[in-house]
Amino acid sequence: MSSSHFALFIDEFAPLGAVQVDPGKVLAALCELPDPRKKRGVRHRFPHLLVIMVCSILAGATTLVEMAEWAADTARDQLAILGIGSPHATTLGRVFERLDADMLDRLAGAWAQGATPLVAVAIDGKEVRGAKNGGGTRVHLMAAIDHGTGAVLGQVSVAEKSNEIPYFSTLLDGITDLTGVVVSADALHTQRKHAEYLHGRGSLLCAHGEGKPAWSAQAMRGPAVETSQGREQDRGDRQRPGH
């Protein structure tokens, strides 16, 4: 079984166990996920498996065995009322292996954006456990994470011979509203085009490196403009009328 799909599911939902989350709303957000299995020989309905996956993770499960044990022991009576059986860990594993990871990421990220008020977002790069690309190296993802809940709001795959810089705006384009939101990122993202992008969306950048966070003055003042003498000047440096 590919562990990358399971790791993705854990990363998406485990942080939400620490906040007040309605599992029903989470499941409603995932209803577009297609059942990846062949219809013949299916014992457990796909929505029932999603219930077990999501609820067990919110309850603290971090392995397939723990998820199966949660369904068979901890929540057996409650699930029985809903007509939901207790699948074996291998059954859950086969489903995880075939899940549409891109769609899962999109649906979960869209739901997480509206789960709690968004105040600050962290841009974080990571390697996916158990996943490798065609070149044999680990898959590198760049994620946008809600500072408040730790939930993944969206993520993009970084090309093998590239870096995170070209993917900054692409990643944040997936977040509907950034107005008033502080975006923190590694110092490598202190790029003029990043500051201009965030200014245009009513947000600001806090870059951190070597343990010393620094606000991007460019993001707070806005993009530079060209003066009649040909030099660049920050909009915020110009005097306001009457001053």
Amino acid identity of 169? S
Q: Which residues contact 178 (CB under 8 A, 6 or more apart)?
A: 118, 121, 172, 198, 201, 202, 203
State the distance between the two ends of the chain, measured CA to CA, in whole angstroms: 67
Dihedral over alpha carbons 16, 20, 24, 25 (to 10 degrees): -80
What CA–CA distance (Å, rounded) separates 95 from 155? 22
Query: In this predicted model, which residue has the larger pLDDT, 121 or 116?
Result: 121
In angstroms, the Cα distances linking 163 to 49, 134, 157 are 37, 17, 10
Q: pLDDT > 90: what percent of the chain?
A: 23
Q: What is the pTM of this model?
A: 0.66
Domains and CATH numbers, the chain: 3-111 (no CATH), 117-226 (3.30.420.10)
Task: For residue range 167-204, list pLDDT tens digits in order.
Answer: 999 999 999 999 999 999 988 898 999 999 999 999 98
Indicate whether 6 pLDDT > 80.
no
